[in-house]
Amino acid sequence: MKKNISHNNPYELFEEWFTEAQQKELNDPSAMAVSAVNEQGRPTVRMVLMRGYDERGFKFFTNYNSNKAKALIANPYAEANFYWKSLKKQIRVSGAVEKVSAEESDEYYNSRYRDSRIGAWASKQSQIMENGYDDLEKLFAQYDEKFDGVEDPPRPGHWGGFRIMPEKIEFWEEQPYRLHKRFIFTRDENGDWQQDWLYP
């Protein structure tokens, strides 16, 4: 192990930093910027909420017809960046992307507030609203009526999760005079994590 890297496993260090962020970051400590490359070879980035992580990777959920989902399906590789201003820390995660299982999507979908579940039916994510915001409100009302009396509306087929499966996880911590601490875990061909310090 190289000097001063305190963990052999990046997930253990992520959990330590994320737990601290949950205690100190006022708004959405699970927020991450996810970048991908679309079919035209152009970069695209969105802020999303990370909705779970384990040794397989980091999950988030979206409309599979959205621009970001289309980019991830066309080029299934992404980077995500967590930045916690209150901690002066950030983490970059990069790797291949896969859709999560239907069971995982169902589990998270069913944990959401009912109105959020109705919203997943109503939103034609990334498409133009011909008549402005009224279009969304009307569609929400239609689906709310369709599922009137239904305590648990089913998950629409166009909505589900992605998992970023890290090949690299980079940690950055602010230091005085811009001499920041920056180190990276890289997964080798055997699935083991190699560690290196990076110049800031």
- Active-site residues: which are they? 178
- What is the three-state SS of the chain? CCCCCCCCCHHHHHHHHHHHHHHHCCCCCCEEEEEEECCCCCEEEEEEECCCEECCEEEEEEECCCHHHHHHHHCCEEEEEEEECCCCEEEEEEEEEEECCHHHHHHHHHHCCHHHHHHHHHCCCCCCCCCCCHHHHHHHHHHHHHCCCCCCCCCCCCEEEEEEEEEEEEEEECCHHHCCEEEEEEECCCCCEEEEECCC
